[in-house]
Amino acid sequence: MKKLLAILALGSALFGLTDLALAQDAAAPVTEAVQAAPADAAPAAPEAAPTEAEPKLDTGDTAWMLTSTLLVIMMSIPGLALFYGGLTRAKNMLSVLMQVFVIFSLITVLWSLYGYSLAFAGGGSFVGTLEKVFLRGITPDTLSGTIPEYVFAGFQSAFAAITVALIVGGFAERIRFSAVMLFSVLWFTFCYIPVAHMVWAEGGLLFEDGALDFAGGTVIHINAGIAALVGAYMVGKRLGYGKEAMPPHSLTLTMVGASLLWVGWFGFNAGSALAANGTAALAFVNTIVATGAATLAWCVGEALTKGKASMLGAASGAVAGLVGVTPAAGFVGPMGAIVIGLAAGLICLWGVTGLKRMLGVDDSFDVFGVHGVGGIVGAILTGVFAAPGLGGTGAEDYAIGAQLLIQLKGVLITIVWSAVVSVIAYKIVDLLVGLRVSEEAEREGLDITSHGETAYSK
């Protein structure tokens, strides 16, 4: 009897194995757990649906983003301050340094109080929420992707600060210090924050449209360029503009400032990958080659039109290239970046010469001609060279025409938003404290009349 039972058990097992093989051939696998279960066992519970892995801190990404944040801070102080300081006349040197330095301080505080929350804490199409006002709810353990949220907030604060500081170049040498500060608060609150949210925050109008702006072509450069242009018109031309020579007092400082900007821009562009990865490497290389191409293009264009290439031209060309590649840095290949750099160099050269004469404006340090025009060029060409067939990182079904329409929409919305907010902000400031210093103060120089000190001892 025992032998019979053993034979039956063996046969049953063989029959089960045969069925299993046939089931596998029919693409209906059976698990060993089910085969081994007794007949009266309850059916196995279905496996839980896979969930996304919890974000984890990456020390390499964190180290790179801390470094990038420091590099962007260096762009403002001392980079932009020295670049602008060298371009001004000696009697206004300290006033420009003071404006950049204090604006940077002001905006970083406002960013922590409410700017970060309104830009990146949820929200709708145009602005975020007050959920993270005063950086509420953020702790050392709170993550933004693979980095601490404090690092992301600090990185973005440096972006906001340099954007507002850029505007100074449009009305330098004739504006009240109190007017600069009040305008900075108004414009940061009602212009920078909404545009940053629209472009970079999930739910933002242009973000949802699929606008490509890797590191701030619209948010920073077009935005600031338009505000500077409006300011140049509303504050008015400098005394003697067009009649007296107003050369830069120190091209040496301007070159040093431009160099610091170029070095810092690696944090600006490559840091916008928000990780130490291949995209950061691509943005890093593009920042090198586009800037070099723009410098060469400006120098060649200047030599052909004026007979000589200048140091001021080389520095301006470098900044134009940096601006032009900013929206494209992580989306285009190096060859596309070179083309963008060449285009930005030549078109921005025209922007500070022919276009500036057409507009009849005293944009002291050519903020619109370089940042505004360069940002527009870069934003539009990003839509072209992001195509995979041209070396970009776009998807296989990437459509250049459709993306160009999205890019143009982003450019136009930024121009209109910045222009309207700027006009209103300047008008409010003029009514409250007055925009312009007196004629006597302007002739003597803002260093003495506004700050009671001079840049150089006699």
The full set of domain ranges for the chain reads 59-451
- Tokens matching residue 74: 């260096």
In whole angstroms, give the CA distance from residue 371 to residue 218: 10
DSSP annotation of 47 reads: P
pLDDT at 455: 93
pLDDT at 53: 67
CB 226 within 8 A of CB 422: yes
What are the CA-CA distances from residue 425 to residues 55, 118, 127 (Å)? Answer: 41, 19, 19
In whole angstroms, give the CA distance from residue 201 to residue 198: 6
Number of H helices and number of E strands within the chain?
Answer: 22, 2
- Tokens matching residue 161: 């600060």
pLDDT at 295: 98
What interhelical angle do 223-235 and 400-432 show, nearest 10? 40
End-to-end distance of the chain based on CA atoms, in angstroms?
A: 121
Give CATH for domain 59-451: 1.10.3430.10
Backbone φ and ψ for 330, nearest 5 degrees, come out as -100, 5
Strand, coil or helix: 240: coil
Residuewise pLDDT in 10s, the chain (458 residues): 334 334 334 344 333 333 333 333 333 333 333 333 333 333 444 444 445 567 899 999 999 999 999 999 999 999 999 999 999 999 999 999 999 999 999 999 999 999 999 999 999 999 999 999 999 999 999 999 999 999 999 999 999 999 999 999 999 999 999 999 999 999 999 999 999 999 999 999 999 999 999 999 999 999 999 999 999 999 999 999 999 999 999 999 999 999 999 999 999 999 999 999 999 999 999 999 999 999 999 999 999 999 999 999 999 999 999 999 999 999 999 999 999 999 999 999 999 999 999 999 999 999 999 999 999 999 999 999 999 999 999 999 999 999 999 999 999 999 999 999 999 999 999 999 999 999 999 999 999 999 999 999 86
CB 183 within 8 A of CB 95: no
Amino acid at 25: D
| Residue 133 CB coordination number (10 Å) | 16
pLDDT at 9: 41
Q: β-strands 143-144, 147-148: how paired? A: antiparallel
What are the CA-CA distances from residue 20 to residues 7, 11, 32, 47, 55 (Å)? Answer: 20, 14, 10, 21, 40
395-429 burial string, b = 16+ CB within 10 Å, else e? Answer: eeebebeebeeebeebbebbbebbeebbeebbeeb
pLDDT at 108: 98
